[in-house]
Amino acid sequence: MFKLLTCFLLLWVGSNADKYANPIALAAPDPWMQYYNGYYYLVATTWTNEIGIRKASTLGGLKDVENTIVYTIDGRVIWAPEIHLIDGRWYLFYCACGPNTEGNGCHRNHVAQSASDDPMGPYTFMADLDDPNTDVEELDPSYIIINDNQYLLGSVMGSTQDLYIRPMVNPYTPSGPKYFLSTPTYDWEKQGWTVNEGPEPLYHDGRVFVVFSASLCSTPNYKLGIMEFVGTDPLNSTHWHKYADPVFQRSNENHVYGPGHNGFFKSPDGTEDWIVYHANSEESQGCDMGRSSRAQKFTWGEDGLPLFGLPEAADVSYEGPSGE
């Protein structure tokens, strides 16, 4: 009997090692994650003047590690940081307000560079990425590579909140102004307010997608839509096709509300696609640091589009990414 129990215990501990449950990190909105050289690196909004990274060898292990500060700015209200590995260095894209700015509209996009190929930095400031031709709020920077050309993606505040794309020579050198990419047109993009934000690159089978967040983040109806590059000129919005239906949204059944502002990462063995996103467990939890990071595996449909399914219920154990 004792032997049997020990055996069960070992099995339980053994199989638990590569399981995880959502949320994977508390107080971590606008998450972005990469798996690199044996570790997951999770970076998220802090709302402060510092950016931290959570590092762990398993997805489930992220819950137990501290958010190590890797970068500090002379400014405030950091939102939506992301790390991208380009030509052997990590580039930390983020938006923030200046030290003496007040109120809404003060965010601008910036980029810092790592000293080596270590995602933990140290990072050095490289450039302000706001378009000097306009004095408006620019936020949610990301980076996409299409046919070997590099582009900054972002969101811009106006009478509506839209997406933009800007040509880049490298992550810290723009080669032109920003171009309009997308504005909310469908009803599902206008709940609470007309919002397109958090544009994120997704590549599959030679196709290029941008997954974005739509509607107001403080509502339970914040959600993800998708657009695809279908032409020859990424700077021309008519060369992109926005799909008519959202691809990821609230699940009343699973008690997950306002899922959005995501990132994508691969399993350690490179065979699986995973999404990381934030969500709330209550309908009225709003758009602040209460939002938690969550992750789940996704697959692809016969039409070549991602199938994200429903956002997973909190506190339920799932199999971790393949190869952990």
Ligand X SMILES: *[C@@H]1O[C@H](CO)[C@@H](O)[C@H](O)[C@H]1NC(C)=O
Distance, CA of 90 to CA of 17 (rounded, Å): 29
Question: DSSP string spanning 297-321?
Answer: EEEE-TTS-EE--SPPPTT-EEEPP
Cβ atoms of 188 and 195 closer than 8 Å:
no
Q: Which backbone phi and psi does 2 adopt, to 5 degrees?
A: -65, -40
Cβ atoms of 222 and 246 closer than 8 Å:
no
**For residue 201, what is the enclosing H or E element?**
strand 196-204
Q: Which is nearer to ligand X, 234 or 259 (CB)?
A: 234
The nearest distance, CB 231 to ligand X, in angstroms, is 6
Token pair listed for 266: 């691969």
Question: DSSP string spanning 8-61?
Answer: HHHHHHHHHTTEEES-SBSS--S-EEEEETTEEEEE---SSSEEEEEEESSTGG
Q: Which backbone phi and psi does 106 adopt, to 5 degrees?
A: -90, -5
Number of H helices, E strands in the chain: 1, 23
C-beta neighbour count of 177 within 10 angstroms: 13
Distance, CA of 45 to CA of 291 (rounded, Å): 10
Cβ atoms of 21 and 318 closer than 8 Å:
yes
Residues labelled as active-site residues: 30, 197
The nearest distance, CB 239 to ligand X, in angstroms, is 6
The amino acid at 239: H
- Binding region for ligand X (CB under 6 A): 236, 238-239
C-beta neighbour count of 135 within 10 angstroms: 10
The nearest distance, CB 189 to ligand X, in angstroms, is 22
The nearest distance, CB 169 to ligand X, in angstroms, is 20
The amino acid at 283: E
Q: Which is nearer to ligand X, 231 or 304 (CB)?
A: 231
Q: Which is nearer to ligand X, 204 or 239 (CB)?
A: 239
Q: Which is nearer to ligand X, 37 or 232 (CB)?
A: 232
The nearest distance, CB 165 to ligand X, in angstroms, is 13
Give me the residue whose beta carbon is nearest to ligand X.
236
Q: Which is nearer to ligand X, 230 or 316 (CB)?
A: 230
Q: Which is nearer to ligand X, 194 or 237 (CB)?
A: 237
